[in-house]
Structure 1
Amino acid sequence: MSRPPGRATPLLVVAALLVLLGAGNAHAAGYRYWSFWEGDGGKGWTYATQGPSSVRPDDGAVQGFRFSVSEDSRDAAQPRRAPDFGTVCADTPQKDGLKRIALVIDPGTAADAPDGEEAPAPRTACARVAPDASTAEALASVAKPLRYDSSAMLCAISGYPRSGCGEQVAGQPEAAKSDGTAPAPAADGARGASGDGGPSAGVLTGVGAVLVLGVAGVLRARRRR
């Protein structure tokens, strides 16, 4: 028995839509690492564009570190304490020839911790270092031992975690981030391509293309009847 012309086309369209929408909801893998942040004049945190070994902050600066699982800088969790220099360095007086750097160290939550390890409590410290000292040097003065990998990536602060460095872990839905917050916005204020949990623009474009092709196929089939 011959199949009526055009009937297979809608079925193919539906199948293609299911594949595309499924791809849009797939969860990308994340990475477990220490992210580096800079205080924005008491207004909040800004993701650092350089590593802590390259940044040489001025006296009175606030630098933050957060251990978490994130996909990229747009998705990274911020330190959960405010970048308040006055509070962090209140008990550390100025000293001639040295600068003071406030440090916020947030090891993250239980969901961020590697298997078999428990995240320490967040803490702050006021480092008093030489005027030309980097953030890495300030951190080393108050939070040893530090651990780096062969590419100078910061792997551990105060010995946490005991092992691993930026390893890939299974992805999680956006709504299930370890700190319960929405993904951090990108530098231009926009969220990631699928930061709202819906299909990405690429997926929607693909859906539109499939629909157009499907309708065209149906029309051609009807003309042949």
Structure 2
Amino acid sequence: MRNGARLAGAAAGALLTLTAVAAAPAQAAGYRYWSYWESDGGKPWAYATQGPATARPAEGDAIGFRFAISSGTDDTSLPSAAPDFAKICGGVEQKDGTKRVAVVLDFGGPADAPPGDTPPAKPVQVGCAQVREDATSAEALATVAKPLRYDSAAMLCGIAGYPARGCGEQVAEKVPASAAPTSSASTGENGGGPSLGVLVGGAAVLALGGAAVWKARRRG
């Protein structure tokens, strides 16, 4: 009797554990925002260490902005166009008291767009900003991509009117359809792993097995 109760308790615990795993909430995928990049004299893109409102690029530098969903600097998408100053600003004559800064804008794809918004038809755009020598990256950006939109904390929220609303909002991870709970007792459709029906069914088998052992012991 004592062994049967122990097995039944273990089966009940397994049922609770498996059900909890199946019902676990999805994790956040990251944040949707404009990331800011720099290129010093033709070097590859590097994630900026300060914001565009304080950074001051030099003559011959490039600055890039990429709109995407990212969870941190390690996986943030780079602008898809190279920081090619010669190509972007080659046709702009240098003038005394000014500097030329190549600007690259990458509006991302439909998957990065906020609900109800759509990226521009031309997702990657470039321009050459000719500004005074002490101008910031934000000032250089404003000469080629108005209007800009900032929040109360001076975070850059929109470039050239995109996106129309929102600013660095958290994005929840989407749960694939194959992972949604079903009443099926087989593996999830599309190879998505066991469904809730499989997990609950497995716990039920354990419970039935424990009951069978308990009955066998009583007969013995």
TM more than 0.5 = yes
Q: Which runs of 5+ in 2 are unaligned?
A: 176-220
Question: What displacement does 1:52 show?
Answer: 0.2
Question: What displacement does 1:43 show?
Answer: 4.0
The alpha-carbon distance between structure 1 residues 19 and 74, as it changes in their structure 2 partners (threshold 3 A), is: farther
Secondary structure of the residue aligned to 2:139 is helix
Give distance in 1, aligned partners of 2:18 and 2:72. Answer: 28
Question: What displacement does 1:117 show?
Answer: 1.5
User: Could you say what the CA RMSD is over the residues aligned between the two structures, in angstroms?
Assistant: 2.8
- The residue number in structure 2 matching 1:207 is none
Q: Aligned ranges for residues 72-91 of structure 1 at < 5 Å?
A: 72-91=72-91
**Per-residue CA distance 1:187-206 (angstroms, 9 max, x = gap):** xxxxxxxxxxxxxxxxxxxx
Give distance in 1, aligned partners of 2:40 and 2:58. Answer: 13
**Per-residue CA distance 1:31-70 (angstroms, 9 max, x = gap):** 1110000125434211111000110011000100000111
Q: Is residue 28–residue 171 contact of structure 2 (8 Å, CA) maintained in 1?
A: no
Residue 114 (str. 1) matches residue 85 (str. 2):
no
- The structure having more radius of gyration, on CA atoms, is 2
Matched to 1:68, the amino acid is A
Secondary structure of the residue aligned to 2:110 is coil
Secondary structure of the residue aligned to 1:31 is strand
Q: Is residue 103–residue 127 contact of structure 2 (8 Å, CA) maintained in 1?
A: yes
Q: Which runs of 5+ in 1 are unaligned?
A: 174-225
- The residue number in structure 1 matching 2:65 is 65
Q: TM-score, normalised by structure 1?
A: 0.66
- The residue number in structure 1 matching 2:140 is 138
The percent identity for this pair of structures is 54
- The residue number in structure 1 matching 2:104 is 104
The alpha-carbon distance between structure 1 residues 19 and 108, as it changes in their structure 2 partners (threshold 3 A), is: same
**Per-residue CA distance 1:60-93 (angstroms, 9 max, x = gap):** 0010000011111112111000111111112211
**Per-residue CA distance 1:150-206 (angstroms, 9 max, x = gap):** 000000001101111011111269xxxxxxxxxxxxxxxxxxxxxxxxxxxxxxxxx
The alpha-carbon distance between structure 1 residues 172 and 131, as it changes in their structure 2 partners (threshold 3 A), is: farther
Secondary structure of the residue aligned to 2:140 is helix
Matched to 1:75, the amino acid is D
> Which residue of the other structure, out of 152, 158, 161, is the alignment partner of 2:160?
158
Give distance in 2, aligned partners of 1:70 and 1:100. Answer: 30
Secondary structure of the residue aligned to 2:142 is helix
Which is helix-richer, 1 or 2? 2
The alpha-carbon distance between structure 1 residues 18 and 39, as it changes in their structure 2 partners (threshold 3 A), is: farther
Aligned length in residues: 172
Secondary structure of the residue aligned to 2:162 is coil
Give distance in 2, aligned partners of 1:100 and 1:17. Answer: 61
